[in-house]
Structure 1
């Protein structure tokens, strides 16, 4: 990480492009960002909170070789999967947000996609042990392992929209959960094997790995929040990162 800034907010577009040159393919036509979600899984069993990170394969076109949180693009169908408990009302309100596309169904799909991606990439099933059945192919791992998905423990941590001028753009919601919320840990990881190396690191350690600049920024925000809110109480203001007037800005939502 030497030779580059430690945070993304406040940088102009040229500086952001330089910082992300190895993570994104620059160029392409203007496009609307796609919904995506990522899960920051936290372990508080030791002296300091640790976070789960995984390294993406170096042959990937998107963020090759970088350490990231499990996550990916949202599938609207995820919102129709049954759960034992929904989002905390305060978290749901913030996740719904405002605007023409702000709906509870969309917020639920985003949250569920974070849980699904954590299973697929890390082999960690968040929910409660019990009978669960669905015809959805992507959720058969929960049925096979007897885990009913649950959203009640999820906390909204941050939102970031990929700057324009990239071949791929995402409107990503960063959610957090405690390792206590994991009902089953598969010994061989997730079925997609998208993350080559899964490690539990303290937040200061995680910020020193090969992480994308936006990930480092979110980790820094999370570290500061945990100092004043170690339980991650629901309903806290959420930092929102986006490019405005040629500068990557941070706002609270």
Structure 2
């Protein structure tokens, strides 16, 4: 399949927070030096939504308030596909499973065969939609990325076992939240981390979600279900 590099692709990014009430750590890895998008940067696991993601069944859905926020400022309801993409990318890039034990009714697609072989079905109820950002114009890749926070206690497998991960991210590790800015991070990741730090002790899904809306005409910092544009532009 040929990918239009100028198109804005929908994407899901997963922020896994461990020991959030006492000693919060966040799971991150480093992109390769030759990566077209954000080379060498430490990032959260995540990636673009695949066409097949809309057809993958879930044993549970993310909270309704999160699905409502995902439906805002968009032409289609991507809440299911984004949930599936988040779970798939977490599995592919870290080897961690967000799911429940069970057997698939049908033969899973190739991208899900290794996940299914572990005896799990994908479950989205732990996903909390906490941030949205569109990559600014002029970048080699552009994404409309939705960031999902999950508590590490919801992971079904060993939190320190990354053996099943692909090689897209290296140096996978749990980084103490107060020390994460010592790493080489993309700008947007720093902004998202500030939001995560503010929410570390709040287990509820947020009622409104920050949104960096970049397009060719302007760039705005909004809140979905908030009071409209916030002050300031950004790059």
Q: Which range, TM-score by smaller chain?
A: 0.7 to 0.9
**Greater mean deviation of Cα atoms: 163-172 or 187-196:** 187-196
CA contact (8 A) 1:120 1:192 kept: yes
1:217 to 191, 195, 214: 191
Aligned match of 1:130: 102
2:167 is the counterpart of 1:187: no
Deviations 1:20-47 (A, max 9, x none): xxxxxxxxx9944110111001112672
2:135 to 162, 170, 180: 162
For residues 70 and 191 of structure 1, the distance between their equivalents in structure 2, rounded to whole angstroms, comes to: 11
2:213 is the counterpart of 1:238: no
Please give the residue correspondences for 1:33-52 in structure 2 after superposition, counting only pairs within 5 Å.
Answer: 33-44=8-19, 47-52=22-27
Aligned match of 1:85: 60
Deviations 1:170-215 (A, max 9, x none): 0000001111111124834344211111111122211221111110
Change (3 A) 1:148 1:213: same
For residues 176 and 129 of structure 2, the distance between their equivalents in structure 1, rounded to whole angstroms, comes to: 20
Structure 1: runs of 5+ lacking an equivalent = 1-28
Aligned match of 1:26: none
Change (3 A) 1:68 1:156: same
Aligned match of 2:232: none
> Given the two structures, how large is their TM-score scaled by the length of structure 1?
0.79
> Given the two structures, how large is their TM-score scaled by the length of structure 2?
0.85
Deviation at 1:247, TM superposition (A): 6.1
Structure 2: runs of 5+ lacking an equivalent = 225-235
2:66 is the counterpart of 1:97: no
2:50 is the counterpart of 1:75: yes
Q: How large is the RMSD of aligned CA atoms in angstroms?
A: 2.2
Deviations 1:139-190 (A, max 9, x none): 1122110111100110001000000112211000000111111112483434
CA contact (8 A) 1:147 1:184 kept: no
For residues 36 and 164 of structure 2, the distance between their equivalents in structure 1, rounded to whole angstroms, comes to: 20
For residues 76 and 162 of structure 2, the distance between their equivalents in structure 1, rounded to whole angstroms, comes to: 37
Deviation at 1:68, TM superposition (A): 0.4
- Number of equivalences: 219
For residues 141 and 49 of structure 1, the distance between their equivalents in structure 2, rounded to whole angstroms, comes to: 30
2:172 is the counterpart of 1:198: yes
